[in-house]
Amino acid sequence: MPLAPETRSVLAALSDPTRVTIFDALSRSPASITTLSRDLPITRQATTKHLAVLETVGLVRSQRVGRQTVYEAVTAPLEPAVADLSESVSTWTSQLALLKRVAEAQL
């Protein structure tokens, strides 16, 4: 069974190591761009672009707090992605077991 488009989007967003680092940091504690940028080897502008990708797929949400925008991780989009991947693993496991039985029968 092919992966759902939402799962593909979440996986694509998390395919970049910098975005994984940002998501991980925000999973521990909400933060502003200034705070996030301090711990990353990229510019604030690049951090903003990575946050936009994560926000587009729903893994991050932002909220204005005074003059700052604070970002926080949202784990809800991961749940269907994990379920989708689990189903794929189950399918592949079954297919590989069948392939093994066929190969062993031909020996």
Residue 22 has pLDDT above 90, yes or no: yes
Express each pLDDT in 79-103 by its tens digit.
888 887 777 666 677 777 777 887 8
Give this prediction's pTM: 0.77
Alpha-helical segments (H) within 1-107: 5-13, 17-28, 33-38, 44-56, 78-105
Query: Tell me, what's the pLDDT at 1?
Result: 62
Structure tokens belonging to residue 39: 């711990």
* DSSP annotation of 16: S
Query: Tell me, what's the pLDDT at 91?
Result: 66
* Cβ neighbour number for residue 94 with a 10 Å cutoff: 10
Query: Tell me, what's the pLDDT at 80?
Result: 82
In the numeric block, the tokens 């301090």 are attached to 38
Query: Tell me, what's the pLDDT at 49?
Result: 96
In the numeric block, the tokens 């189903």 are attached to 87
Express each pLDDT in 38-78 by its tens digit.
989 999 999 999 999 999 999 999 999 899 999 999 999 98
Query: Which domains are present in the chain?
Result: 5-105 (1.10.10.10)
| C-alpha to C-alpha distance for 3 and 79, rounded to whole angstroms | 13
